[in-house]
Amino acid sequence: MADLMGNDLTRQSASTLADAISQGEVSAEEVTKAHLERIADVDPRVHAFLYVDSDDALAAARGVDAKRARGDQLGALAGVPLALKDVLTMKGVPTTCGSKILEGWRPPYDSHVVERLRANDIVILGKTNMDEFAMGSSTEHSAYGPTRNPWDLERIPGGSGGGSSAALAAFEAPLAIGTDTGGSIRQPAAVTGTVGVKPTYGGVSRYGLVALASSLDQAGPCARNVLDTALLHAAIAGHDPRDSTSINAAVPDVVGAALNGDVRGMRIGLVRELSGAGYQAGVELRFREAVELLEGLGAEVIEVSCPHFEYALGAYYLILPSEASSNLARFDGMRYGLRAGDDGSHSVEEVMAITREAGFGPEVKRRIMLGTYALSSGYYDAYYGQAQKVRTLITRDFDAAFAQVDVLISPTAPTTAFKIGEKVDDPIAMYLNDVATIPVNLAGNAAMSLPIGLAPEDGLPVGLQIIAPPMADDRLYRVGSAVESALVDTWGHLLIEEAPAL
């Protein structure tokens, strides 16, 4: 283990920091302070954080140091700082979901993910920016202003979890939590040169995750390398009886897989429908190179067809708004958050409508309207009902593909990071960012995005998406680790090291 003294603590991996803390080379408090200083330094430009919880973070860090001093056994990530997406509740700490409607609300309870983080002595630095209620692919739909991509501050960091991905890429935190409903962990990872995993649906409890679309949402780990991601995955995954959809089975050995990056003999499927038209040239180039790399590492890559994927986007943009329109009904100004128009002259019905009009941004309203329409009587069968059937067909496509191969691969996103403002008024163009990630959410599979290089035309990161069958999350790490170490061997460092200084 390298001596960290004198090195920039914010440039280290989570596992390195955890080792150094447990060895006593640095204190958790020093590590947390270094990251808080980095945030103070760069976040005015990046705007990854909506709330920095310095006092609690330092107290938690000192708690870890005290444990170590007592000789207590420390967890694999004890004392490592983390950035938490603002869609997960944390007792007493503002949780806004990027929305004005929850401004100032401090939840009276911890989400399951936060409980797990605390139990693992991970230090939560604060809450990260996101598209309002996770609706978006650019973080431009945050009510608190956009987050900027550390690779180019004029560009988006992906979304909805752009705050978490930017925090990693800006070296404000070595670990982050994201949530992924249609790609909100993977696409931000792809466009910021970081790693993100959407676990199998039900792999991480949704208790305390403010729901966007309940049947699609999944919280997951984000980091700058595959092993750190696996360590965080292991820390937050597992059965929770408070989430009825939580899977009651052992968590796949993701850490073991990350330490054993060997793809020899693996069969890897290249999804024909997730390439071609609409994919940027540099994205396709790096993806083809990644395929060659995997073949060179001993994997067998074959092309597979998932014919119903072309309907995934349509089904998704009916299912998501439908569930969201219901999930977001509770934001009515009666029990928590914003209340507008309560001047004594308005009825409760009017105050609810005024509050929701004032508290929600345009994308949220658009999707609530869409979902309300899709569920309304007379349209249910044609829209919601039909979308659920498409979901069955997509799941069958995956089943057929996984009968032939161990994992599937595709580019994570069709393009590299686009410019802030470029697509914000064009919902369809924005929705197309998620075309490659959405099928996974519809079927409940596990998937990872990891960086595979920069697109030559713009010098921006490109992500590789790896998809595994449900509860085979370990395969993501096995493949991801193999690709990552081969690329590090080639480049001499992780891609993220090439990000410009801020």
Partner 1 sequence: MSAITRADVEHLGRLARLNLTPEEIDNFAGQLDVILTSVARISEVAADDIPPTSHPIPVENVYREDVVRPGLLRADVAAGAPAWEDDRFRVPRILGEA
Partner 2 sequence: MSAHADELMDYDQAVSLFEPVIGLETHVELGTNSKMFCSCPTEFGAEANTQICPVCVGLPGSMPVVNAVAVESTIRMGLALNCDIASWCRFARKNYFYPDMPKDYQISQYDEPLCTDGYLDVIVPTDDGPQVFRIEIERVHMEEDTGKLTHSGGDTGRIHGADYSLVDYNRAGIPLIEIVTKPIPGTGALAPVVARAYVAELRNLMRSLGVSDVRMEEGSLRCDVNVSLAKPGEPWGTRSETKNVNSLRSVERAVHSEIERQSALLTSGGRVVQETRHFHEDTGRSTSGRSKEQAEDYRYFPEPDLVPVAPSLEWIEQLRASLPEAPAAKRARLQESWGITDFEMQTLVNTDALDVIEETVAAGVEQSAARKWWMGEFARSAKEQGIELSQLRVRPADIVRVETLIREGALTDKMARQVFEGVLAGEGDVDSVIAQRGLVVVSDDASLLAAIDEALAAQPDVAEKIASGKVQAAGAIVGAVMKATQGQADAAKVRALLLEKLGVSE
Retrieve residue 313's tokens.
Answer: 């986007």
Burial class for 61, CB neighbours closer than 10 Å (0-12, 13-18, 19+): buried
Instruction: Please report how close the Cβ of residue 108 comes to partner 1 at its closest, in angstroms.
Output: 4
Q: How, if at all, do strands 81-85 and 175-179 pair?
A: parallel
Could you say whether residue 288 binds partner 1 (CB under 8 A)?
Answer: no
Judged by DSSP in three states, 359 sits in helix
Q: How many Cα atoms are found within 13 Å in the side-chain-facing hemisphere of 464?
A: 32
214 as an active site residue: the answer is: no
Residue 347 has a CB neighbour count (10 Å cut-off) of 9
Contacting partner 1 (CB under 8 A), which of 115, 131, 240, 332? 332
Could you say whether residue 337 binds partner 1 (CB under 8 A)?
Answer: yes
Residue 340 contacts residue 354 (beta carbons within 8 Å) = yes
Instruction: Please report how close the Cβ of residue 67 comes to partner 2 at its closest, in angstroms.
Output: 29
Which residues are bridge partners to 268 per DSSP? Answer: 301, 407
Number of residues that bind partner 1 (CB under 8 A): 74
Q: Could you tell me how far CA 183 lies from the centroid of its own chain? A: 7
Question: Which segment (67-75, 235-243, 249-257, 268-276) binds partner 2 by CB under 8 A?
Answer: 235-243
Instruction: Please report how close the Cβ of residue 357 comes to partner 1 at its closest, in angstroms.
Output: 4
Could you say whether residue 373 binds partner 1 (CB under 8 A)?
Answer: yes
Contacting partner 1 (CB under 8 A), which of 135, 176, 219, 387? 387
Retrieve residue 198's tokens.
Answer: 């959407």
What DSSP line would sit under 268-315, residue for residue? EEEETTSSSTTS-HHHHHHHHHHHHHHHHTT-EEEEE--GGGGGHHHH
> Which listed residue (27, 137, 142, 160) is catalytic?
160
> Which listed residue (111, 184, 410, 481) is catalytic?
184
Among 145, 191, 84, 131, which residue's Cα sits nearest to residue 416? 191
- Secondary element (H or E) of residue 369: helix 362-375
Tracing tokens 């995956």 back to the chain, one arrives at 398
85 as an active site residue: the answer is: yes
Could you say whether residue 241 binds partner 2 (CB under 8 A)?
Answer: yes
Residue 350 site contact among partner 2, partner 1, none (CB < 5 to 8 Å, cut-off depends on kind): partner 1
Tracing tokens 């161990």 back to the chain, one arrives at 406
Residue 213 site contact among partner 2, partner 1, none (CB < 5 to 8 Å, cut-off depends on kind): partner 2
Could you say whether residue 322 binds partner 2 (CB under 8 A)?
Answer: yes
User: What's the rounded Cα separation, in Å, for the pair 68 and 268?
Assistant: 44
Retrieve residue 390's tokens.
Answer: 């498409």
Could you say whether residue 108 binds partner 1 (CB under 8 A)?
Answer: yes
Residue 354 site contact among partner 1, partner 2, none (CB < 5 to 8 Å, cut-off depends on kind): partner 1
Contacting partner 1 (CB under 8 A), which of 153, 262, 285, 386? 386
Could you say whether residue 249 binds partner 2 (CB under 8 A)?
Answer: no
User: What's the rounded Cα separation, in Å, for the pair 453 and 93?
Assistant: 37
Residue 448 has a CB neighbour count (10 Å cut-off) of 34
Number of residues that bind partner 2 (CB under 8 A): 45
User: What's the rounded Cα separation, in Å, for the pair 458 and 438?
Assistant: 25
Instruction: Please report how close the Cβ of residue 324 comes to partner 1 at its closest, in angstroms.
Output: 11
Site string for partner 2, 344-363 (x = CB under 8 A): x---xx--x-----------
Site string for partner 1, 170-209 (x = CB under 8 A): ------------------------------xxx-------
Retrieve residue 417's tokens.
Answer: 């990071």
Question: Which segment (22-30, 56-64, 294-302, 387-395) binds partner 1 by CB under 8 A?
Answer: 387-395
**DSSP label at residue 126:** E
Residue 211 site contact among partner 1, partner 2, none (CB < 5 to 8 Å, cut-off depends on kind): partner 2
184 as an active site residue: the answer is: yes
Give ∠ CA 333-426-360 in degrees, rounded to 5: 5
Contacting partner 2 (CB under 8 A), which of 107, 136, 146, 159? 107
Retrieve residue 349's tokens.
Answer: 């019905």
Site string for partner 2, 364-383 (x = CB under 8 A): --------x--xxx--x---
Could you say whether residue 36 binds partner 2 (CB under 8 A)?
Answer: no
Retrieve residue 153's tokens.
Answer: 């501050």
The site for partner 2 (CB under 8 A) is made up of 88-89, 95, 97, 102, 105, 107-109, 111, 206-211, 213-215, 241-245, 322-323, 325-326, 329-332, 334-336, 344, 348-349, 352, 372, 375-377, 380, 384
Query: Which residues form the catalytic set?
Result: 85, 160, 184
